[in-house]
Amino acid sequence: MKRKIFTLIELLIVIAIIAILAAMLLPALNKARERAKATECTNNLKTVGMVIALYCDEFNGTFPVYYSSGGTTSYYWGGNTNGLWTEFYKMITRDNSIPGWVNYVPPGVVCPTVKTFPNVFQAKVSGWPKFDGWVSLGFYGINTKQTISSGNWKVHRFFKAVSGAGKILMAETNQPNAAPSKNKGSWCIYPDLADPSRVSSRINYSHNNRANVLFFDLHVNSAAPQTLLEDSCWKPYEN
């Protein structure tokens, strides 16, 4: 029996069919991959919301935002009775041994898209190898458009929030123009950062031109730029 040998034309036809099938399948695979990232980001932000709830239970319904150095415009994260960030990071990382100066988290805590940022900051702390590769939690930024004063601290008080289901607490961020290895997102967010054309710190619309948002009632949903550009959703203490 003679063995059938593919002719060059037949081989080219087979290759062409495979190429066409691949071209048809790749977009579907890419969409599935992006959906998986969006789902992981949603779950991560929900986890952050649960930790916030636990934290507020322990600290009289108060979630710290930032500290204003007296008489200056210097804002930073720190710790006192109204802003125990160290305790919050311990809850987020599930690591009670982390020192007070640690303000970053394992990459798996934030959106997986962060790993694709070419300029992402990754911790490298001499003498502390456990933190190598950790990133900023600022990739989930906190709404600082409207806060409540508590001494020099600016805080959020959850029991005072109005219509929390429509008010932004946190959203995923990016800092595209940061220097190499300096991108820590933007922990402080406000309406101007919702502009998708910004090249500096901004909301990151990484999921089909939408961003995942944690609202004051602690549910998570994706939002388009036109939604986040509405000033009212940034004011948790107004109707």
Q: Tell me the mean pLDDT in the region 134-155.
A: 89
pLDDT tens figures, 22-76: 777 777 666 667 788 899 999 999 999 999 999 999 888 888 888 766 554 455 5
Q: What is the pLDDT of residues 72-98, one digit of tens each?
A: 445 555 444 445 688 888 999 998 888
pLDDT value of position 29: 66
Q: Which pLDDT value is given to residue 6?
A: 63
Which residue pairs, CB below 8 angstroms and at least 24 apart, start in 74-83? 75/154, 75/188, 77/103, 77/187, 80/151, 80/153, 82/150, 82/151, 82/153, 82/155, 83/153, 83/155
Domain boundaries, the chain: 50-234
CA distance 135 to 113: 12
Provide mean pLDDT across the span 185-207: 93
Contact residues for 31 (Cβ-Cβ < 8 A; gap 6+): none
Q: How confident is the model at residue 4 (pLDDT cuts 50, 70, 90)?
A: low
C-alpha angle with apex 97: 93 to 102, nearest 5 degrees? 65
Q: What is the pLDDT of residue 153?
A: 79
Verdict on whether the full-model pTM lies above 0.85? no
Per-residue model confidence (pLDDT) at position 35? 80
Is residue 164 a contact partner of residue 235, using CB atoms and an 8 Å limit?
no
Most confident among 27-36, 98-107, 159-168 (mean pLDDT): 159-168
- 165-188 average pLDDT score: 94
pLDDT at 201: 94
